[in-house]
Amino acid sequence: MSHRSGFVGIVGRPNVGKSTLLNAYLGEKLAIVSPRPQTTRHRVLGVLTREDAQVAFLDSPGFHEPEHVLGRYMMEVAKAVMDEADVLVAMIDARAGLTEADERLFARVRQAIRQPGGGGAPRAALLAINKVDTVKKPRLLPLLEACAKAQTFAECIPISALTGDQLDVLLGRIIAHLPEGPRWYEPQQRTDQTTDQRIGELIREQLLLATRQEVPHAVAVRLDQVEAGERVTAIHATILVERPGQKAIVIGRGGAMLKRIGQEARRQLERLLGRKVHLALWVKVAEDWRRDERILRELGYTGEGGR
């Protein structure tokens, strides 16, 4: 039996369900998820190993118009994922229909798969029309026709990353387009993220879920110390915000918001680490940190393609 392997870039505009798709295929939370656009800031690798194939999924930040240095970094990561992929899976939100931002994405995909010389270009692009569990069929059919007319994708597949609908079909088509090759990762390896990176992201996820308006975009988490004791892992982290008003929101009246964020984050961290966690959080104002290259380097937002 032949064995297929390669990298699969998951791309799309913000909030279409890219991270939910990655987590669904891997059966665990490798990428944090929230209703906030631009939740994903780094490239996230998730490796699915089967007898017949090894699929290295690459989750990416959503394509958007960057407004600061962090935004430019995120766009560089998204573009690098497109360059690295053997197969591209572009995602759109069925509820929104085909937007101008989606059409700009389609143009990027066409450019990627038609690179001159063929060296390094993705072998194929598939379109995943996500969240079909929320859309009635009469509304979905014109969207499928419009996407097919774009003549960009080998196939257009309606899915629901949340319910799992048609994920087996999409995976089968992904594997069919991968080149024959060996396993590049050990079967037990699921990601290249370090434990510290996953800890920081899980804390940030709770910040995104708890806050509103501009605050979720203006927060970052700096891991100061992780110390594994005999029975408990002690984690100390600093939450960075850009304005004193944002600090006040994150702390909340009498510290209530920060306490709530810490409690929810601790539950997630104990699930990740499989042991008790003591979590200590501080909040610090770092004015305009998203435009400060020094702070961005300290936080790991450096280098093409992510970490």
CATH number of the domain where residue 32 is located: 3.40.50.300
* Same domain, residue pair 173 and 94: yes
Q: Given the structure tokens 């600090």, which residue do they identify? A: 247
Is residue 10 located within the same domain as residue 141?
Answer: yes
Instruction: Give the model's pLDDT for residue 41.
Output: 96
The verdict on 254 and 125 lying in the same domain is no
**Core vs surface per residue 120-159: b (16+ CB within 10 A) or e:** ebbebbbbbbbbbeebeeeeeeebbeebeebebbbbbbbb
Assess if residue 269 is contained within a domain: yes
Tell me, yes or no, whether 229 lies in a domain: yes
Indicate if 241 and 209 belong to the same structural domain: yes
* Per-residue model confidence (pLDDT) at position 120: 65
Predicted local distance difference test score (pLDDT) of residue 57: 98
What's the confidence (pLDDT) of residue 307?
44
Identify whether residues 70 and 200 lie together within a single domain.
Answer: no
What domain range includes position 71? 4-177
- Cβ atoms of 261 and 255 within 8 Å: the answer is no
Residue 190 belongs to a domain = no
Question: Considering 150, 177, 204, which residue would you say is the last residue of a domain?
Answer: 177
Torsion region of 131: left, alpha or beta (phi above 0 gives left; psi -120 to 50 gives alpha): left
Residues 22 and 149 in one domain: yes
Residue 20 belongs to a domain: yes
Burial label, 82 (beta-carbon count in 10 A; 0-12, 13-18, 19+): buried
3-state helix, strand, coil in the chain (%, to 5): 40, 25, 35
Q: What is the predicted pLDDT for the residue at 305?
A: 46
Please report, in tens digits, the pLDDT of each residue of the chain (307 residues total).
799 999 999 999 999 999 999 999 999 999 999 999 999 999 999 999 999 999 999 999 999 999 999 999 999 999 999 999 999 999 999 999 999 999 999 999 999 987 655 456 788 999 999 999 999 988 899 999 999 999 999 999 999 999 999 999 999 999 999 999 999 999 999 999 999 999 999 999 999 999 999 999 999 999 999 999 999 999 999 999 999 999 999 999 999 999 999 999 999 999 999 999 999 999 999 999 999 999 999 999 875 444 4
- Same domain for 202 and 142: no
Total count of domains within the chain: 2
Of 114, 145, 177, the one marking the end of a domain is: 177
| CATH classification at residue 208 | 3.30.300.20
Query: Quick one: 171 and 210 in the same domain?
Result: no
Does residue 184 belong to any structural domain of this protein? no
Q: Which of 110, 143, 177 is the last residue of a domain?
A: 177
168 shares a domain with 226: no
Give the max Cα distance, the chain.
Answer: 63
Does residue 183 fall inside a structural domain?
A: no
Residues 6+ apart with CB under 8 A from 178: 4, 5, 6, 8, 53, 55, 86, 87, 123
Q: From CA 302, how far away is CA 307, in angstroms rounded?
A: 7
116 with 11, same domain? yes
Interior/surface letters 25-48, b for 16+ CB within 10 angstroms, e for the rest: bbeebbbbbbebebbbbbbbbbbb
307 domain-assigned: no
Residues 137 and 202 in one domain: no
Is residue 251 one of the residues assigned to a domain? yes
H-run or E-run covering 69: helix 69-84
111 is written with which tokens? 């450019």
